């Protein structure tokens, strides 16, 4: 029997300032026990979709043990990709109805990273006031794209808000990243 898994919230954002290709940035925020940890990065020539995939991969790879992860993204590309398309692509030899899957290597890497955890994927509106952590994540990604900067995982002090008991483990546990 598997031991009780830590519950992690993962917020993911990717952006590209040059349309289909240009300077891009990504960010992720991990939350556990009211402790936040942020990470972000950039690429001088990329796409928004590639930045989204990089953010998700980085967030999941930062976790040092198997966790129950609820991932939040404002990208239908990422949420549908992980919940609907990825299993079909694997079955169909990484083919879509119109050809090969774009960003296949990143999708494979994300699939491998997600397989290490118990995952739930949620699509949320990007401007929703109900998810301030997503808004922080978006700002980090936009700043990373504009400044072409990166950051290792940075832990933040506990937030003053009361943890959601059903979503977070006991206060004695710490972020597993």
**Confidence at residue 75, expressed as pLDDT on a 0 to 100 scale:** 95
Distance between CA 29 and CA 47 in Å, rounded?
20
CA distance 113 to 116: 6
Output the six-digit token pair for 56.
């998700």
What's the pTM?
A: 0.86
Cβ–Cβ under 8 Å, residues 155 and 35: yes
CA–CA distance, 88 with 81 (Å, rounded to integer) = 10
Angle 34-126-24 from CA coordinates, rounded to 5°? 95
Q: Over pLDDT 90: what percentage of the chain?
A: 72
Q: What does the pLDDT average to over 42-61?
A: 96
In the numeric block, the tokens 């990604």 are attached to 141
- pLDDT tens readout for residues 5-35: 999 999 999 999 877 789 999 999 999 988 9
In 3D space, the residue among 7, 33, 51, 29 whose CA is nearest the CA of residue 133 turns out to be 29
Percentage of residues of the chain with pLDDT beyond 70 = 87
The residues, any chain, with a CB within 8 Å of residue 44's CB and separated by 6 or more, are: 23, 148
Give the residue-averaged pLDDT of 47-56: 97
Residues 141 and 51: beta-carbon distance below 8 Å:
yes
Q: How confident is the model at residue 158 (pLDDT cuts 50, 70, 90)?
A: low
Please give the Cα distance from 45 to 92 (Å, whole number). Answer: 30
- Could you read off the pLDDT of 112-126 as tens digits, one per residue? 999 999 999 999 987
- Identify whether the C-beta of residue 154 lies closer than 8 Å to the C-beta of residue 38: yes
**Cα dist from 10 to 92, 96, 104, 128, whole Å:** 29, 28, 22, 16
Go through the domains of the chain in sequence order and give each one's CATH number: 6-155 (3.30.420.10)
The mean pLDDT value of the chain amounts to 87
Residue 170 has pLDDT above 70, yes or no: no
pLDDT in tens, 53-91: 999 999 999 999 999 999 999 999 999 999 999 999 999
């Amino acid at each position: 029997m598997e031991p009780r898994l830590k519950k992690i919230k993962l917020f993911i954002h990717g952006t590209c300032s040059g349309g289909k290709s240009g300077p891009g940035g990504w960010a992720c925020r991990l939350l556990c026990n009211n402790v936040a940890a942020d990470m972000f990065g950039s690429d001088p020539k990329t796409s928004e979709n590639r930045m989204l995939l990089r953010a998700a991969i980085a967030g999941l790879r930062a976790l040092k043990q198997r966790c129950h992860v609820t991932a939040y993204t404002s990208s239908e590309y990422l949420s549908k990709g992980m919940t609907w398309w990825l299993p079909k692509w694997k079955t169909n030899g990484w083919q879509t109805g119109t050809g090969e899957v774009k960003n296949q290597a990143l999708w494979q890497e994300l699939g491998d990273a997600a397989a290490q955890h118990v995952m739930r994927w949620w699509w949320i509106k990007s401007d929703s006031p109900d998810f301030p952590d997503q808004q922080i994540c978006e700002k980090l990604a936009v700043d990373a794209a504009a400044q072409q900067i990166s950051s290792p995982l940075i832990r933040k002090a506990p937030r003053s808000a009361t943890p959601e008991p059903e979503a977070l483990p006991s206060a004695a546990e710490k972020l597993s990243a």
